Amino acid sequence: MLRAFIAVEIDEQSKQKVLELVSCLKKSCADVKWLDETQMHLTLKFLGGVPADKINGISEALSGISGAFESFPITLSGIGVFPDLKHPAVLWLGVDKGAESLETLNDKIENALEKIGFQKEKRKFKPHLTLGRVKSSKNMPGLLKLIGNTSFEHKEDIKINELSLFQSALNPKGAIYNKLSTSFFIIRH
């Protein structure tokens, strides 16, 4: 069984902007497992444990979706938490421009994978980039105050050109991601 997910990635320049924000938020000394550059992506569907013999079918489904989908730009803005401010578990960056395209893409993925035996996600999809996962409530009030006083807007377009299937291997230091397949969107000039 492979632990897998489907995601789109952002460019290096955008990653650096996000890492600057993470560096600022780390000053709170909150007990958060912050993402690093290698983990920066927007998850479209978490698959969980997948038998190795299903990987090709997933990759083919993603290739079919991307072959009929045009590349699109997104912008990032707004810092938030899941599930709410009283019980923060995940800190995230929102998607401004391009959110509808990511929602459409997610819907196409959900429908295609349901046909090959994967259950549809019951929760409404909210496009976001995870910044960190809360490990304990230590220094959380300081972090929430810092989030409230910090605005983040990355208004330069981030081109979304490809769809990737990743394996997530867990180890004591965190998850290590390995790209299993990539399919490219139609690019119009």
Q: Report, as residue numbers or ranges, the catalytic residues.
A: 41, 128
Beta-bridge partner residues of 15: none
Which pLDDT belongs to residue 188? 66
Closest alpha carbon to 17 in 96, 129, 176: 129
Q: What are the mean pLDDT values of the chain's consecutive 10-residue runs (189 residues total)?
A: 95 94 94 90 95 95 94 94 92 96 97 95 94 94 91 90 94 86 84
Q: Spell out a b/e string for 6-21, using b for 16 or more CB atoms within 10 Å of the CB, else e.
A: bbbbbeeebbebbbeb
Q: In which domain, by residue range, is 74 found?
A: 2-184
Q: Which residues contact 127 (CB under 8 A, 6 or more apart)?
A: 42, 74, 94, 95, 98, 99, 102, 103, 106
pLDDT of res. 189: 55
CATH number of the domain at 176, please: 3.90.1140.10
189, part of any domain: no
Per the structure, the count of domains in the chain is 1
**173 within domain boundaries:** yes
| 81: in domain | yes
Helices (H), the chain: 12-26, 55-66, 99-114, 140-149
pTM of the model: 0.92
Question: Is residue 178 a part of any domain in this protein?
Answer: yes
Q: Residue 130 falls within a domain, yes or no?
A: yes
Q: pLDDT value at position 14? A: 94
Domain-located, residue 67 = yes
Q: Is residue 116 part of a domain?
A: yes
